[in-house]
Amino acid sequence: MVLMKIKFTQQRRVCLAQGLWLLSWLAIMCGVFTFCLGVYLKTELLRRAEVMDNTEIHVVPNILMMLGLASIGTNWVATRVCQDSMDANRFPRWKPLLLLWFIIVAILCCLFISVVVLSYALQGCLEESLKVGLRNGIRFYKDTDVPDHCFQKETIDHLQMEFCCCGNNNFRDWFEVQWISNRYLDFTSKDVKDRIRSNVDGRYLLDGVPFSCCNPSSPRPCLQYHLTDNSAHYNYDFQTEELNLYSRGCRQALTDYYMEMMNSTGPGVLTIIIIQISMFLSLRYLQTAVEGAMALENKEGDSEGYLLEKDVKETLKDFKANVLQILKLAQVDPTTEQSPEVPATEKADNATEKAADPAPSS
Mean pLDDT of the chain: 83
Q: Mind listing the pLDDT tens digit for each residue in 176-228? A: 999 998 888 888 888 888 888 887 788 888 889 999 999 988 888 888 888 88
Residue whose C-alpha is closest to residue 212's, from 157, 249, 250: 157
**pLDDT at residue 71 greater than cutoff 90:** yes
Mean pLDDT over residues 19-28, rounded?
A: 93
Please, where are the H alpha helices in the chain? 10-47, 59-84, 95-121, 123-139, 152-162, 190-197, 250-263, 265-294, 312-330, 334-338, 344-356
Q: Mind listing the pLDDT tens digit for each residue in 241-254? A: 667 889 899 999 99
**pLDDT at residue 108 greater than cutoff 60:** yes
Would you give the DSSP letter of residue 297?
A: S
Phi, psi of 262 (to 5 degrees): -75, -35
Q: Mind listing the pLDDT tens digit for each residue in 313-323? A: 777 777 677 77
Share of the chain above pLDDT 90, in %: 35
Q: Look at residue 349 in the predicted model and tell me its pLDDT.
A: 56
Q: Mind listing the pLDDT tens digit for each residue in 285-301? A: 888 888 888 877 666 77
Q: Look at residue 345 in the predicted model and tell me its pLDDT.
A: 53
Radius of gyration of the chain (CA): 36
Would you give the DSSP letter of residue 206?
A: -
Q: Look at residue 173 in the predicted model and tell me its pLDDT.
A: 93
Q: Look at residue 35 in the predicted model and tell me its pLDDT.
A: 95
Q: Look at residue 132 in the predicted model and tell me its pLDDT.
A: 92
Would you give the DSSP letter of residue 189?
A: S
Rounded to an integer, what distance in angstroms lies between the CA atom of residue 254 and that of residue 10?
57
For 305, the 3-state DSSP assignment is strand
**pLDDT at residue 356 greater than cutoff 60:** no
Q: Mind listing the pLDDT tens digit for each residue in 330-354? A: 665 555 445 444 455 555 555 555 5
Residue whose C-alpha is closest to residue 279's, from 89, 19, 73, 9: 19
